[in-house]
Structure 1
Amino acid sequence: MLCSIRTYTLLAVLALLGLFIGAANRVQAQTYQIDCAILLCLSGGWPASVPCARARTEFIRRITPWPVEPPLQIWRCPMGASYRSIAPPNDPSRFYDILFSGQNRPRPQSTPATEHITTEVTILKLDDPDTRLLTKGLAFQLVQDRADIDISGPEFNFVRSIRVYDVRYARQHESGRDGDCNRSATISLGTYGTQGDFSWARSDPTALPDAHTGLERWGSNCPSIYHRSVFVDWRDYEGRYGFEQINY
């Protein structure tokens, strides 16, 4: 049963990516496309495909210094697009209902988040490039710096699982005068909140995941260490672990 759900999820991811990425040349709001692709590919464990390869490249580029950005900017993907007209059956804003329908339970209607800001975007129907789907006054309802629908449920834990460790520097050395071990480090941890909002907090070398390399001898005797890196890890929709590290 688990295998069939996994297969369904990956197929849904690939099919939906085709819907979004295939329409990219006909859509002016290009920034939406890559973050929707990152969201879908991350949830499916980065399936092997050209769209997912591009999405992962952008995901990693954003944490390549400098500056270090949120690797997933979920507020750029209009999941809860609101229209004042009846949406067509192939409306891309419904992709979450499709993606997570393998849970064998009805999914509640997406609840718009509060504190909306309105941005006018012109986008074209996927099946009719000559017809405007959104016109002036029929705008996406977007939320600044967080998802525009309620993603507090456990099915979106893969978003909140993303952690970004910005190791600005970590230095350990022995003082030549008195033999003391001098250690200093500046590390920030970036995490996602309940609604996909991203924030930074102070961290330290002991909090780095086991998969991180370069500070294994930190605190052991006093070998000379100087290390700088950005490390990101995550778990996909099914809980499988993944990570990337960039040293500089």
Structure 2
Amino acid sequence: MGVAFSPLESPGPAERLFDTAFQATLPRQSFPDDGQVIKVQTTDGADIDISGDAFDFVRSIRVYHIQYRQHENRDGDCNRSDSTRLGSYGVQGDYRWTRSNVGQVPAASDLSIPNGCGSYFYRSVFVDWRDHAGNYGSEEVRY
């Protein structure tokens, strides 16, 4: 997805609170239970040639950022909003986002738009892939 991780020295609780309160433009960082900090860095693709068939599993990874809502307004009109995007990897591991829609989200997702125009809101990140043996896998996180 265009990122790499590098461990940093973990700041103390007071420094983390200060960063959160006064430096909101900094990227958010995760602090695992062991106190190790992970720094996110952008990358331009793979450091090695991954264009061969052995790396098809990398290009099979698809990331759906699903943002869908619908509701009926006072006039009885159905208002729908679909901001779904699809992230995928290119031949050399370059990552890109393209427009998509909920109709392209795989059935393995928990997305379940009701018939008619009932009030519905769904937001998640859904990732699916095929491993080196061709087996299908997926994960989804609602937020």
TM-score, reference length from structure 1: 0.40
1:230 aligns with 2:98: no
Aligned-residue CA RMSD (Å):
2.3
How far 1:245 moved relative to its partner? Answer: 0.5
- For residues 58-93 of structure 1, the C-alpha deviation after alignment (integer angstroms, 9 at most, x for no partner) is xxxxxxxx89xxxxxxxx9xxxxxxxxxxxxxxxxx
CA distance in 1, matches of 2:128, 2:50: 20
Corresponding residue of 1:244? 139
Provide the secondary structure at the position in 2 that maps to 1:211. Answer: coil
- Structure 2, unaligned stretches of length 5 or more? 8-27, 30-40
Provide the secondary structure at the position in 2 that maps to 1:158. Answer: helix
1:163 aligns with 2:58: no
**Paired letter, 1:152:** S
Corresponding residue of 1:175? 73
Contact 2:68–2:81 (8 Å) recurs in 1: yes
2:104 to 199, 207, 210: 207
Contact 1:205–1:215 (8 Å) recurs in 2: no
Corresponding residue of 2:22? none
Higher helix share: 1
Contact 1:215–1:225 (8 Å) recurs in 2: no
1:193 to 90, 110, 120: 90
Contact 2:84–2:101 (8 Å) recurs in 1: yes
- For residues 20-79 of structure 1, the C-alpha deviation after alignment (integer angstroms, 9 at most, x for no partner) is xxxxxxxxxx749xxxxxxxxxxxxxxxxxxxxxxxxxxxxxxxxx89xxxxxxxx9xxx
TM-score, reference length from structure 2: 0.67
Question: Which is bigger in relative contact order (C-alpha 8 A, separation at least 6)?
Answer: 2
Question: Where in structure 2 are the equivalents of 1:1-248 lying within 5 Å?
Answer: 31=6, 144-167=43-66, 169-177=67-75, 179-217=76-114, 220-248=115-143
Q: Which 4+ stretches in 1 moved above 2 angstroms?
A: 214-217
Corresponding residue of 1:80? none
How far 1:235 moved relative to its partner? Answer: 0.8
Identity %: 51
- Structure 1, unaligned stretches of length 5 or more? 1-29, 33-65, 68-75, 77-143
Contact 1:158–1:235 (8 Å) recurs in 2: yes
Contact 2:113–2:120 (8 Å) recurs in 1: no
CA distance in 1, matches of 2:72, 2:58: 41
Provide the secondary structure at the position in 2 that maps to 1:150. Answer: coil
Higher strand share: 2
Provide the secondary structure at the position in 2 that maps to 1:147. Answer: coil
What is the aligned length? 107
- The structure whose Rg is larger is 1
